[in-house]
Chains A and B, each alone.
Chain A
C-alpha cells in the first residue's frame, strides 16, 4: 500500500513533465542494438536525474560491458534497473533504543525540508503508537520555533522550546531531560539549517550532538540528514561533511514530488554508504514514505 502510494505520487510528479524530461521507458522502446547512440541516450537520462559524472560513468560502463551489440529489449531493461536498485538499499525504519527514549536528530542545509519532515515523521511515529516529543533547536532562523510549534499543535505532540536567539544545545539538554522524566518514546530534535562549509555552525551541531549523547546513553540513535531532491552534485559534499560532523544514520530525501529525482543519492551511497530512509513527497503530514529502491528506480524510468 505504502509502496503504491509513493509510486503513484512519484509517477504523477514525473508524468506531468513528460515533455521536459521523458523518462527511461521510451529508451528501452528504442529498436536496434545497444550501441553508442543508445548508451549516449541513457547517459543523458542519468545526467538529467542528477546522478552525476562518476556514478553515471559507472552505470554506463556496466551496461556497455554486458550488453554492447546485443539487441535492445527486456533483458537490458531488467539489467539496468537491477543494477540501479542494487546500488541502493531499502529504507529501514527508525532503530529504537533498547530502553529509554530514542533520540532522532535531524540536520541539513538551509531550507531542505527539516522542520516539515520532522512534523511528518512525528505523526508517523505517533500512528505507530509512540509518544513523541519534539525539540525546537533552531533558535536562529526567524520564526523557526513558531513553525515547529504550529506543527506540534496540529499533530498534538509536546514541544520543548526557548526564545529565538537562545542556546540550541541547552534546548536539546532540556528536551532530553523532559523525554526521560515524562517517559517519551521518541525525541525528535530539529536543528537550524546550515551550510556544511560553515565551520562554526558545524561545531554548534556537534555540540548539540554531544549534549544529547551525554544526557541519554547511546543517543542520538538516529541522525537523519535532510536533502532536497532538487539539489544537484552539492548533495554529495553535504552528505560527506554532515557525516563527518555528526555521523549520520540515514537520509530523508525531501521534495521528491517535483520533477527532480535526487539522483545524487547513488553517489552518496557509493561514497559513504549512507542510505535513504524516507522520502518527502509533499507539504502535508501524510507526505512521508519509507524509501523503496524498487519504486524509486521504477519512477526514474516512468
Chain B
C-alpha cells in the first residue's frame, strides 16, 4: 500500500520535479491520492477532507527542494501533520494521593474493554501499584467470570457482587472495599453499550457521578470505520474522556479511527492493544500510527532523509542570512522571509521580543497579527528594486506603496526608518547568530522549530484533574454561549 501511494504520489507530482514552488494546482492530484489513502485507512470522510485541505495549504508556497522527489517532500509534510495531530502522548495515570485512584473503561460492545482492564491492571502492577478490578458488566453472559479468570491469571483482586445488584452500587461499594484493603488503583470494567441507547448511557453517567473516576478511557477497536467519530463524540459528551485505548492493533487494520477520534473529540490515544494476552499492551506512538495509516513501508527512513535535506537547506539559508547581516545588506525581502518563518512558530505576540527592533515597529495597542499583515502589505507593494534597496524610495514611491497597501505615506516612511535602524542593530548583533538569539529570547530552540516547515505544537496540559460533572456542564454552557 505504501508503495502504492508513494508511486501514485510520485506520478502525480512528476511535473513538479526540480521546479519552483508548490501551488494548489500542481499538488491537487497528489492530494487526491493522499485523501484516497486516508479513506482506505478508514479515516472519517470529513476528517480526511479537512486534513487534505490543511496539508495543501501548508504545502503551497514551499520551495520544491532540488535534491528530492517532490512526492517525498509532500509525503513528509503529510506524515508530519499526522504525527502532530495524533500526538503528543501522555501515558501517565496521575494517581490520587489520599484515596484510591479510579480508572473507568467504557465503549461499544466487544471492543476489548474487559481484556484491556486486565492489561491495565498488569501494567499498573508493574508500575508499583496495587490494582483491583471491578466487574461492573452485569449484562453480558459470564462477563463477571471472564474478568475473574483474567484477574486470576495475573493475581489481581476482582471485586464482584452476586446478582441482583446494580452496576452503580457495585462500583460504589468496590471503592470502599479498595480503601479497606489498601488497594490503591481501581479499574472499573463496564458493560459494552451503544452510544445511542439512552438508559445504558445514563447508567455510565451515574457511575461517573458516584465514583468520580480520575481517568475515563474509551476502548475502541482499531478496525472501526467511519462510525468511530459518532461513538467517540457521544461517549466524550457523556463522560469527558481522558484517553483512548485502541485495541486489536495486532491485525492489519490501518486504524484511521485513531486520527478521526483525535480530530473530532480531541481525545488522545494513550495505549494500544496488540494481542489477546494480558501483556500485550503498549504505549501509543503517533509516529508508528502515522506510518500505519499511510500504509506499510519504510516511511521512517524517508522521513529522515527529507528532514536531513531540509536541515541542510535551512543551514545554507541561515549562513546566507548571517553573511548578509554581517555585510549589512539584509534586504526587505530577507526581512519578510524571516517573519514569515516566525509566523509558523506560534502567536506573534509571543515572538515580538525575538527579533530585535521588531517590537518598536508595532505600537502597544495594535494587534501584532494585524501589524504584521500591515507591514507585509507594505513590503509586498514595493517593487523588487525597492525591496533590495529601500534608499530609492522617495515621496512619489511612498504614495504609490501606501495606496497599494492601504496605509498612509508617513507610515511607510516610519517603517523604513525603523527597518534601517533595525538592520544596523542586527548587523552589530550578528556576531551572535540571530537564530541563537531568537532561541535565547523565546526558549523555543527545541523541536526543530527552525527547520522550514516544522511546527511547534502546544502540548495539551494534562493536569490529572477530572472536572466534576457540574464543572463540565458549566463549561459546556459557556461554550454554547460563545457560539
Contacts and interface: CB of A to CB of B under 8 A. Distances in A.
Interface in A150-170: 150-151, 154, 164
Contacts of A203: none
Interface stretch (A107-115, A125-133, A171-179, A268-276): A107-115
A143 B145 CA distance: 6
B25 interface: no
Sort chain A's interface into a size bin. 35 or more
Nearest to B112: A111
A110 B248 contact: yes
Given A44-B45, A197-B252, A233-B42, A258 B231 contact: yes
Given A230-B221, A232-B256, A147 B140 contact: yes
Contacts of A141: 146, 276
A25 to B, nearest CB: 18
B110 interface: yes
Interface stretch (B222-230, B322-330, B424-432, B454-462): B222-230
Nearest to B151: A142
B42 A142 contact: no
A149 interface: yes
A231 interface: yes
A109 B223 contact: yes
B146 A142 contact: yes
Q: Secondary structure at chain A's binding surface: helix, strand, loop or mixed? A: loop
A150 B112 contact: no
B195 A147 contact: no
Q: Secondary structure at chain B's binding surface: helix, strand, loop or mixed? A: loop
A259 B252 contact: no
Most B C-beta atoms less than 10 A away, residue of A140, A143, A196: A143
B221 A228 contact: yes
Interface of B: 36, 39-42, 44-45, 108-112, 114, 139-143, 145-150, 153, 194-196, 221, 223-231, 233, 248, 250-254, 256-257, 276
Interface stretch (A15-23, A68-76, A90-98): A15-23
Given A110-B248, A231-B225, 11 more contacts: A111-B109, A111-B248, A112-B110, A142-B147, A146-B142, A147-B146, A197-B250, A230-B108, A230-B231, A231-B224, A259-B231
Contacts of A234: 42, 223, 251-254
B230 A20 contact: yes
B40 A258 contact: no
A228 B223 contact: yes
A281 B111 CA distance: 17
Contacts of A109: 223, 248, 251
B248 A150 contact: no
Contacts of A231: 221, 223-225
Contact of B251 (A196, A228, A257): A196
Given A142-B149, A232-B256, A149 B142 contact: yes
Contact of A260 (B145, B226, B254): B226
